[in-house]
Every structure is written in structure tokens, then in C-alpha cells.
Amino acid sequence: MSQSDPDAIIVGGGIGGLGAALALARKGLRARVLEQASTFGEVGAGLQIAPNGTRVLAEYGLLDEARELGVAPADMIMFDALDASELTRLDLRDLERRYGFPYLVMHRSDLHALLLRGCERAGVELVTDGRVDGLAPDGTGVIRADGQIERADVVIAADGLHSVARASFVADAPVSSSYVAYRGAMPIEDVRGNDVHEDAVVVYVGPRCHFVQYALRGGSMFNQVAVFESPRAKAGQADWGLPDELDQAFEGACDQVQRGIPLMWRDRFWRMFDRDPVDRWVFGRVALLGDAAHPPLQYLAQGAVMAIEDGWVLAEHAARRRSASGDVDWDAALAAYQAVRPEHCRRVQSTARDWGGLWHLDGPRRDRRNALLRDRDVRDYSFVDWLYGPTALEPGQEPEMFKPIPL
Ligand code: FAD
């Protein structure tokens, strides 16, 4: 190690990598982010940030700006996608009182830019065109695409679903759900007259499909996500998820959904993959974080939030194990991170799969689901307390998990 080496190299400058770099820099540690792209940025449209994420943003001093950039909707409402009947709702203002922090929705690029500005202010070294192709053989650094080795006390792999670092340690592959997402963000004027809810996060759940809507950027934009199971993916064909399948998937949907489908971006789509949970994320001085560690299906809207929590937990443990001379006992800090985060994220990943299954039911099981959801007390928070409560720093703080009733 030389004097110019940082304390931590973070591979990947997505929401997870920037969040971790900011968390470490706020604790006085030197963080360097290596991002493969030629600029820092995010593709896609909206992102929901539940109170367990906004709690961390508040601690970083970023919540006020996040509120200004985003929207704090009044409700989250679930409708049946076929008959448009309301199934259940969450009062998000009450939710904010319960957890102390808001449920926000933001444009992805706004959240990413907010974290980037935080990193710049905190003195994070931000490197673009910084692709990493592997880990140094002794595990104390990374190998850049040009063959150069960069060293640090710790390497944090926040390089997403197709993580290079994860592939060095875990023999697994992304798992296809056969579902595909189309997104679209548009001026709010384009959807006025479409019977949309401007002050709510809305999801229409239907057989093998669902449709999400909410306003963004102080209410000036509107975000839509259309997700469906691809028959061609189920049949093992390579050309799955094309726009013809989008149109077919929503043919039987209610008017509110039908009006939204023509507004989706049709030139790009996202095939939905996750990975099976793994219980080990720390390998010597290398730690997996964000989607590199725990890529979920998006049904609980927790992927980016978990990534933000990961960085906060890691930095807290590093700071607690820092001596007066400034040295961090990284082995102990990484062990503490390893002790608490994989179990929480395993629960989120597996529950997201189950929750998606519930959304997409058909026939009598759809009827039973609808009856159960309509009966639900809208002030019952037992199914989200384990998600939206304070992020655990120790395994003993992890709340009991909600056990869904099988249908
Ligand atoms: P990524 O965003 O994948 O970032 C990885 C970064 O690493 C990228 O910048 C990439 O260029 C870089 N990189 C990759 N490989 C290398 C390399 N070898 N060297 C250097 N750099 C590299 N989550 C929520 O919390 N709320 C939501 O509402 C929500 N909605 C979603 C909706 C959809 C349709 C989808 C698909 C996901 C959703 N998610 C949501 C999940 C969320 O988007 C992800 O979990 C989150 O963005 C993961 O962030 P990350 O930084 O870990 O990974």
C-alpha cells in the first residue's frame, strides 16, 4: 500500500456504489469509485424510496433536497387490473408518522445525481472509464481493464447484477423470471384525462402482468411501468419481451391501464432477472454490495434502498472499529457487515418473488387474493414493519419477518 492508495475502492458508480462511497467519506475515510462508463448516470425512470431508505438520506443531510426533487405521495393503492376495483391501500402520510421518514418517489437520475453531489462535497475520488476486469491475486486491490492494479485496504464490489467480483467467488448466474418491464416517463399533461392518480403510487395487479403509475419531479412528470410474463420466454425463445407481447399482455386490462400502454417507451425494455440469495458476501478484504450481492425482483421496490442501507451499515461498522491513529480494523468491520446484511436481504429477495407471484394470480386464487386484500385493515403495518423500520446494525436488531398466508 502506498500513501496515495485510498482506504476503499468501490467498483461501480450506481446508486449502491455512490451511496457506499458517500457513507465512508462522511466517516473520514478515503473512497475511490471506479465506474466503467464514461460519465456517471442512471437509465430508467422512477424509483420508490421507502422510509428505510429516506432515513439514511436524512442522516446524510440529503432528505430536504430529495423531497424537493421528488414527490411524497399521499397513498399507495392497489387495484385489480381487470375490473379496476380497489383491493387495498397504504396511507403514506400515516406511514411517515409511524416510521419517522417519508415514502418518496424520485426520478432515478435525480437520486443518482443527489448522491453524486454528496460524494463530490465529501471528497470522494470519482473515476470514469474505470472498468475493472478482476481482483488482484492477493485480494487487496482490483485489476483495471488496461491491466493496471489499484490497491486499497478494502474493495467494495457494487458492480451490479453481472458483477465481475461476485463471479470470482460465487458459482451462480442470474435467474430469469420470464417477466419484462417497459417504462415511460412523460409530462403530467400527457396523462391528464386518463383517470390517473396524481397523488398516489398506484399498482394494477393482473394475471401475469401489472402496471405501476406515479407522479415525479414535484408532480410535473408522470412515471409508468408495465410488467408482464413473456410467452416467448416461457417457450424458451431468444427474442422475448418485444412490443407485440406488451400489447397482447394487457389486452384484457381495464380502461385505466389500456390508456397508459400506448405511452410506454417501446424502443427499450428490461428483462427481469434476480439471483438466488447467497449467505456470504465477504471474501477476505472484498465485500459485495447492492445488486452485486442481492439483486431482487422489483416487486417490493427495495433494490436500491437495500443498496443504500448496505453502504450505511458498512460505514457505521468501519467507523466503530477505527483506532485513534485512524486505522480501521477492516476484518472486524467486514465481519460485522457480513453478520447482519445477507440475512435481511435474503428475506427481501425471497419475499419479492412471493409478492410478485401473488400479484400475478389468475382464476380462483386471484379471487381469494382479492378477498383477503379487501379485508385487510389499512392501518395494519405488520407486513411492512420488518422492511421500513430502522436498518439493523446487529443481527439481534433484525425485526421478525412477516409470514404471508399461503393462498
Ligand atoms: P447498478 O445500478 O447495476 O450499478 C452498477 C454500476 O456498476 C453501474 O454504474 C455499472 O456501469 C457499473 N459497473 C458494472 N460493472 C463494472 C465493472 N466491471 N467495472 C466498473 N464499473 C462497473 N429499487 C428500489 O429501491 N425502488 C424501486 O422502486 C425500484 N424499482 C425498480 C424497477 C425496475 C423495473 C427495476 C428493474 C429495478 C427496480 N429497483 C428498485 C431496483 C434498483 O434499480 C436496483 O436494485 C439498484 O439500482 C441497484 O443499484 P446498484 O448500484 O447495486 O447496481
Residue among 112, 291, 294, 351 to mutate when testing ligand 1 (max atoms within 8 A of CB): 291
Residue 3 confidence (pLDDT): 77
pLDDT digits (tens, 9 = 90+) for 187-227: 999 999 888 999 999 999 999 999 999 999 999 999 999 99
The average confidence (pLDDT) of the chain is: 96
Ligand 1: residue whose CA is nearest its atom 9: 14
Q: Whose alpha carbon is nearest atom 37 of ligand 1? A: 298
CB 191 within 8 A of CB 208: no
* Fold assignment, 8-173+275-397: FAD/NAD(P)-binding domain (3.50.50)
pLDDT above 70 for 115: yes
Residues 300-344: pLDDT tens digits? 999 999 999 999 999 999 999 999 999 999 999 999 999 999 999
Q: Which residues are CB-neighbours of 334 under 8 A, at least 6 positions away?
A: 154, 282, 285, 287, 314, 317
Would you say residue 404 has pLDDT above 70? no
Residue 19 scores a pLDDT above 80: yes
C-alpha 311 to ligand 1 mean position (Å): 14
User: What pLDDT is attached to residue 195?
Assistant: 87
Using the CB atoms, write b or e for 321-357: b if 16+ within 10 Å. Answer: bbeeeeebebeebbebbbbbbbebbebbbbbbbebbe
Q: Which three cell numbers stand for residue 114?
A: 443527489
403: cell is 409470514
Whole-number Å distance, alpha carbon 178 to ligand 1 midpoint, is 19
Residue with the smallest CA separation from ligand 1 atom 29 is: 301
Cβ count near 174 (within 10 Å): 15
Domain regions of the chain by residue span: 8-173+275-397
Catalytic residue among 214, 337, 381, 388: 214
The whole-angstrom separation of Cα 401 and Cα 350 is 12
**Active site annotation includes 214:** yes
Mutate to test the pocket of ligand 1, among 15, 115, 155 (most ligand atoms within 8 A of CB): 15
Quote the ligand 1 centre to 293 CA distance (angstroms).
Answer: 11
| Model pTM score | 0.96
* pLDDT tens column, 251-290: 999 999 999 999 999 999 999 999 999 999 999 999 999 9
Distance 257 CA to ligand 1 centre (A): 27
pLDDT of residue 406: 61
